[in-house]
Amino acid sequence: MNQGVIITLPKSDDVTEYLSVFSKPIIDECSKQNIKLKKLEKDKANRSDFEKLLKSIDYKMIIFNGHGSVNEILGHKNKELISAGKNDSLLTNRITYSRSCYSLQGVGNSSMKNNTDGCFIGYKIPFMFLIDLTHVTNPSKDNIAKIFFETSNLIPITIIKGNSVKEAHDNSRKSMLRAIKSAIKKKNKDSEAIAETLWNNYLAQGLVGNFNATLR
């Protein structure tokens, strides 16, 4: 496999808009580390374009942003990208980070059945984030949402820097604990909700496969 990253960036509702906007630090880190990157943006985040791209460049790391279920990872306008038992073997022996609800349970476990070199990081229950409604039309200015994306972005960013998947998982979870403590100390109207949502993500996040897998 070739050293490189494929990232999906659907933008068909508020959730996918936020996921895509806050993926910019991941994209910037690829540039900084001279890691090749291919983006599937908006309507290009569909199964056909994803499979064609993966077969043509064979990159080792895949980052999914979007809605999901136990058996599916979805793209633009909730169109199927990966389904357990159908095309999830495309992820075998690759490093996958799926920022989508429930995907670790079905797709993650199924894609890693015959795996030796790859790893899947995802969520056993929904990945959650809060937003500031005054910035819903300009997510990059939303400092509440930023808390949840800074902690989750640490997963791909740590891997892109050359560290193992296990180190990335641990870095992200430690960051969530720090963010929880910070939110509680502030004692403002959002503190409790922020801490509870971060704790949800802390418990939800997991990995399956080769924990020592690296991109480089």
5-15 tens-digit pLDDT: 999 999 999 99
Region label for 45, one of left (φ > 0), alpha (ψ between -120 and 50) or beta (otherwise): beta
Residue 187 has pLDDT above 90, yes or no: no
Share of residues in the chain with pLDDT > 70 (%): 100
Nearest CA-CA partner of 5 in 114, 124, 162, 212: 162
Mean pLDDT of 35-43: 98
**CATH T-level fold of 2-209:** Rossmann fold (3.40.50)
Residue 56 has pLDDT above 90, yes or no: yes
Mean pLDDT of 125-144: 96
The mean pLDDT value of the chain amounts to 97
